[in-house]
């Protein structure tokens, strides 16, 4: 598994591009992205668990249900959510416009949107920009970068990656980009994630690999506990790597699935680190739960706690808040067996054993917690269940960003 | 139902007091409180739902299980939570010391603590202060005020109240105090609430009235989503009002229960308004849910959303975040029937109907949201279920307070 450059354009046969069409008003930033596979694909997708789903999500779900997609059109600056029938019509038109520009049926295009909720999507601006968008398509890293810029909102960093693996001796590539920074919680945040691969793989196994990967990556990230209306993760596999088709759950599938999970985890971690206002990446590792699912629930409860997050911001080794957050997670455990340690590049410190505090050096704790990546390690002693969850600290800037997001 | 003065000393036959014994270190604030009924009582209590329970909670639960209590000793500055066997022994000793000072068995005393988690309780300081604590007892409002001061931590306001009602022609009084400001979420926060009444009422009905009242008051408050290890609400009823004993669920019980609910709601609202760092009281009223329980879940989801709370701080009429928070509450509803309005002393504005936005004046919205008490009114159209939940905005000061609480 080798990191490579190029993002979603790293796999063979994919193009990407992005332009500014004016959805973000006076901003000069790009706001419209296109990703395209020159060859037919298999594809898979997961969408938000929120009962209120954006028009783009509803339309993409319909298109995916009709068959594989091979193009993605995405905009930032407007979520096209809570926009009624007009919103649905706009999302459908957006796919049709992209399909026409690419010379494929509109049903083979997925739509994704991110931005403010409840404002009509300026579909005419998108229609007028379609020709320029098509011309922006490139098969190199610049195409990838332009598309990525065009889906960013409050993101402060570009979050992308690509890997190369070998399947039966054939080099195969996976590339991905993600946007997401606020409204991020289990079951995916306001995140859009687009992944391309030139692996040759059946629809069913692509879907299985995606579901498993998301379970251990994007579903283990929390920024602020809000699950968005627009979450979308899409993968397109076009087979241009010419490996023998992956159609059973054998060793080839295992290699592909592991690479996809690795890519998703790296994107998910990057998203947590770039959480709105965040200054620190918070990794909560929980061991000794009855099973993996309950380990994930307990770790998420800690990573989601505003009090734990504020303590991390303040570099305060407040392990009592960690124990408290475990206690209200809704999973049974024996508080008297809990061990808690804090760690970072500056070292590791045991803070709690047998459910009670250990004497520790406040200076050492401060050193550890002043690093920009902190790990909280929890051991319960109830079984083999283990999970890692990523989050971030809660800061003044989170309030600043979200106290006046619309204007 | 008539508001009166005196707090927990308003009912006949109760005394309260508070002193500084040094638990808060260098602080000159009071940190040790005592409340006492001169006559025997019936009593009832509810404690935190957190699986990690403070030693004081465990000991109080034992004492309540053995019979009614008639004294409460409480400290601030130390939660006596996650303190192991030594913590249990300290909590038990605290009750014994208070019992000895009051001339009653230690089992008739409940213990409550609030403050930092995981630090041993300085029980010797409490022992040395016991004589002074007993001498601080008074049956007037000064006694009440001293006790209330002694249970406050990050609270910025004194939160208390008292009511007089008539039961079968006899004047009967209820008085209460509450502390709580952070770690506040459904199922009660780091809140301590002590209520006294001179009503003559059976143990069973006192318990029933308390449970019902808490359901519609303290369990409907959220500040930061963290459920504390120490939540305690205690009521003592000493019968000194000499009303005919309330022992059936007839009209007298209804009058008493309504007054208790009224008192609890006013204390709960005061707690939300004084949420850590809060500048605004947020009231979420949800109508048209299938039933009251689901109405409460939906309203809590809105009042708990960091994004909604930050928008309220920023006076941003971001109704899309309200709809989004309804969507991830885990209750089925039709997004296309949702209506949302924002209101305050400055007026009312309809923002969303049929699940989509209405045109509205941003100036008017700003006016409404700049008030220090904001209401979000949501209508679903699914049935008769209705609930009100109280919360507060999320501010820079919340981060400041919780980024460095221990020091």
pLDDT single digits (tens) A165-200: 999 999 999 999 988 765 554 333 467 889 999 999
Q: In this predicted model, what pLDDT tens digit does every residue of A61-93 receive, in sequence order?
A: 999 999 999 999 999 999 998 888 999 999 999
Task: With beta carbons less than 8 A apart as the criterion, state whether A146 and A33 touch.
Answer: yes
Q: Is B50 on the interface with A (CB under 8 A)?
A: yes
Q: State the average pLDDT over residues A324-339.
A: 90
Q: Where residue B50 falls among pLDDT bands split at 50, 70, 90?
A: confident
∠ CA B189-B325-A179, nearest 5°, is: 115
pLDDT > 80? residue B362: yes
Return the closest-CA partner of residue A194 out of A32, A44, A334. A44
Least confident interval from A48-62, A131-145, A200-214, B52-66: A48-62
Mean pLDDT, all residues of chain A: 90
> A308 in helix, strand or coil?
helix
Diameter of chain B measured on Cα atoms = 68
Q: In this predicted model, what pLDDT tens digit does every residue of B275-316 receive, in sequence order?
A: 778 889 999 999 999 999 999 999 999 998 888 998 899 888
ipTM of the complex: 0.71
Side-chain-side CA neighbours of A377 within 13 Å: the count stands at: 11
**Residue A66, exposed/middle/buried by CB under 10 A (0-12, 13-18, 19+)?**
exposed
pLDDT for position B182: 57
Predicted TM-score (pTM) of the model is: 0.79
Chain B residues 224-283 with CB within 8 Å of chain A: 224-229
CB contact under 8 A, A228 and B183: no
Q: Please give, rounded to a whole number of angstroms, the shortest distance from the CA of A176 to a CA of chain B.
A: 27
Q: Where residue A257 falls among pLDDT bands split at 50, 70, 90?
A: very high
Assigned token pair, B357: 């936005």
Q: Is B306 on the interface with A (CB under 8 A)?
A: yes
Least confident interval from A105-114, A185-194, A305-314, B139-148: A185-194
Task: With beta carbons less than 8 A apart as the criterion, state whether B297 and B329 touch.
Answer: yes
CB contact under 8 A, B82 and A395: no
Task: With beta carbons less than 8 A apart as the criterion, state whether A16 and A144 touch.
Answer: yes
Give dist(CA A288, CA A294) in Å, integer.
10
Chain centre distance of CA B122: 26
Of A118, A182, A311, the CB nearest to B352: A118
Q: Please give, rounded to a whole number of angstroms, the shortest distance from the CA of A249 to a CA of chain B.
A: 34
Q: Is A359 on the interface with B (CB under 8 A)?
A: no
Give dist(CA A363, CA A368) in Å, integer.
9
Give dist(CA B268, CA B46) in Å, integer.
15
List of residues 6+ apart from A294 with CB closer than 8 A? A331, A385
In A261-404 the beta strands, taken as DSSP E runs, fall at 281-289, 339-344, 347-353, 356-357, 373-379, 385-392
CB contact under 8 A, B224 and A307: yes
Q: State the average pLDDT over residues B118-130.
A: 95
- A257-260 long-range contacts, CB within 8 A, separation 24+: A257/A208, A257/A209, A257/A212, A257/A213, A258/A1, A259/A1, A259/A163, A259/A165, A259/A174, A260/A174, A260/A195, A260/A197, A260/A209, A260/A210, A260/A213, A260/A235
pLDDT for position A111: 96
Query: What domains sit in chain A, N to C, each tagged with a CATH number?
Result: 2-273 (3.60.70.12), 281-403 (3.10.20.340)
> What phi and psi values does residue B61 have, to the nearest 5 degrees?
-60, -45
Q: How many beta carbons lie within 10 A of that of residue A250, not counting itself?
A: 9
Give dist(CA A217, CA A225) in Å, integer.
16
CB contact under 8 A, A81 and B320: yes
List of residues 6+ apart from A215 with CB closer than 8 A? none
Q: Where residue B188 falls among pLDDT bands split at 50, 70, 90?
A: very low
List of residues 6+ apart from B12 with CB closer than 8 A? B173, B198, B238, B240, B241
- The continuous run of DSSP H or E covering B325 comes out as helix B319-327
pLDDT for position A189: 41
Give dist(CA B315, CA A402) in Å, integer.
11
Return the closest-CA partner of residue A8 out of A248, A176, A215, A121. A176
> What share of chain B has pLDDT > 70, as a percent?
95
Return the closest-CA partner of residue B351 out of B377, B388, B385, B387. B377
Q: State the average pLDDT over residues B32-43.
A: 96
Query: Which residues of A are annotated as catalytic?
Result: 190
For A381, B106, B167, B200, B242, the CA distances from B170, given in Å and listed in that order, are 58, 33, 5, 11, 7
pLDDT for position B294: 94
Q: In this predicted model, what pLDDT tens digit does every residue of A378-407 receive, in sequence order?
A: 999 889 999 999 988 888 877 787 776 453
For A14, A58, A252, A291, the CA distances from A354, given in Å and listed in that order, are 54, 49, 44, 21
A183: left (phi over 0), alpha (psi -120 to 50) or beta: left
Q: In this predicted model, what pLDDT tens digit does every residue of B259-271 receive, in sequence order?
A: 999 999 999 888 8
Q: State the average pLDDT over residues A212-238.
A: 80
Q: Is B399 on the interface with A (CB under 8 A)?
A: yes
| Cα dihedral across residues A359, A364, A368, A371: positive or negative | positive
pLDDT for position B307: 85
Q: In this predicted model, what pLDDT tens digit does every residue of B210-255 receive, in sequence order?
A: 999 988 888 887 655 556 777 788 999 999 999 999 999 999 999 9
């Amino acid at each position: 598994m080798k990191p490579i450059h190029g993002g979603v354009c790293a796999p063979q046969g994919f193009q990407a591009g992005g332009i500014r069409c004016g959805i973000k008003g006076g901003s000069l930033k790009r706001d419209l992205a296109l990703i395209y596979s020159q060859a037919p694909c298999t594809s898979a997708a997961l969408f938000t668990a929120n009962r209120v789903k954006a028009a783009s999500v509803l339309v993409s779900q319909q298109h995916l249900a009709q068959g594989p997609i091979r193009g993605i059109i995405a905009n930032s600056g407007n979520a096209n959510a809570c926009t009624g029938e007009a919103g649905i019509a706009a999302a459908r038109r957006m796919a049709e416009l992209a399909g026409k520009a690419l010379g494929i049926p509109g049903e083979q295009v997925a739509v994704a949107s991110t931005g403010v909720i409840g404002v009509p999507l300026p579909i005419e601006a998108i229609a007028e920009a379609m020709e320029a968008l098509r011309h922006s398509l490139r098969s190199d890293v610049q195409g990838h970068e332009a598309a990525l810029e065009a889906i960013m909102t409050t993101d402060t960093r570009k979050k992308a990656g690509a890997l190369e693996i070998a399947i039966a001796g054939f080099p195969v590539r996976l590339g991905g980009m993600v946007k997401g920074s606020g409204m991020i919680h289990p079951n995916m945040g306001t995140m859009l994630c687009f992944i391309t691969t030139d692996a040759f793989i059946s629809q069913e196994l692509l879907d299985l690999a995606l579901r498993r990967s998301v379970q251990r990556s994007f579903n283990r990230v929390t920024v602020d506990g809000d699950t968005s209306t627009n979450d979308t993760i899409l993968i397109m596999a076009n087979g241009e790597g010419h490996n023998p088709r992956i159609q059973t759950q054998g060793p080839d599938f295992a290699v592909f699935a592991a690479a996809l999970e690795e890519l998703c985890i790296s994107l998910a971690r990057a998203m947590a680190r770039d959480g709105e206002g965040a200054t620190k990446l918070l990794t909560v590792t929980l061991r000794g739960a009855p099973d993996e699912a309950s380990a994930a629930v307990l770790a998420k409860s800690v990573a989601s706690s505003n009090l734990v997050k504020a303590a991390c911001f303040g570099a305060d080794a407040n392990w009592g808040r960690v124990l408290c957050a475990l206690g209200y997670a809704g999973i049974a455990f024996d508080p008297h067996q809990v061990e808690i340690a804090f760690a970072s590049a500056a070292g590791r410190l045991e803070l709690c054993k047998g459910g009670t505090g250990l004497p520790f050096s406040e200076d050492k704790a401060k050193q550890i917690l002043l690093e920009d990546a902190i790990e909280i390690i929890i051991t319960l002693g109830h079984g083999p269940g283990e999970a890692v969850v990523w989050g971030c600290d809660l800061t003044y800037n989170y309030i600043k960003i979200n106290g006046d997001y619309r204007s």
